[in-house]
Amino acid sequence: MKSYLPGAVGVSRLSVYDTTAPDGLHGGTPHMHLTCSEGYVVIAGEGHVQTLSGEGYRETPLKPGTVAWFRPGTIHRLVNENGLQLVVLMQNAGLPEAGDAVLTFPVDVLGDPDRYTAAATLPGGPDPGPAYRRRDLAVTGFLAMRAAGPKAFTEFCRAAAAIVAPKLGDWRRRWETGPLEVALETGRQLDALEKSDVAHLAGGGIEVLAKPTESGKHGMCGLLETYIPVSD
């Protein structure tokens, strides 16, 4: 079984892109998670996060010490105003890496699975150009959606659900063997303690990731340092 961080939470450090998007702002790629909540702990710099959800459009300032989080169904876009760096916490470790993020491309791209996949997939390597082009395409769609109002947001949600539909079987398997199993283990521990059974406490100890598993990876919002526990 995979060894997860506490509560099957994913952790990464993010240096938000500082290049210019089509609207003149610097920052990341707007996108939505369909099953995962996400949290930010701001560790350096300043900026804000733009969100679009059933609650409408908001801009939330980010500065060192700020903690902000949002639920699935929240389109979010990080804006870097001065060296913004975050620690990012992701629910359901494993699902985001398996595709639980839909980018806000224009409607003609969202409606074509082949075009969407081509636009969303990065070739890898050190060249940041493809990541910036992907970001710019998503910002263009995001700005159009925001201007069009609530109906456009609802239509995006439907399109996003259609895009991820082929992945749901794999997501369920990952959830059952990861986050769900972690939660069920807590239940088993509670059951044991009610019986004065402390055998599970003999399995305590510390695990350490001395450095990121990956560094300098071009993500949706910036350069990532990711911490991924290895399998037992």
Are the C-beta atoms of 21 and 135 separated by less than 8 Å?
yes
- Res 42: pLDDT: 98
Q: Which residues of the chain fall below pLDDT 70? A: 1-4, 229-232
Are the C-beta atoms of 51 and 61 separated by less than 8 Å?
no
Instruction: Output the pTM of the full model.
Output: 0.94
- Res 232: pLDDT: 36
- Res 228: pLDDT: 76
- Res 8: pLDDT: 87
pLDDT digits (tens, 9 = 90+) for 124-169: 899 999 999 999 999 999 999 999 999 999 999 999 999 999 999 9
C-alpha closest to that of 224 among 34, 72, 29: 29
Reading the block at residue 198, the tokens are 């402390």
22: left (phi over 0), alpha (psi -120 to 50) or beta: alpha
In the chain, the N- to C-terminal Cα span, in Å, equals 6
- Res 230: pLDDT: 52
Judged by DSSP in three states, 141 sits in helix
Which strand (E) or helix (H) includes residue 140? helix 129-148
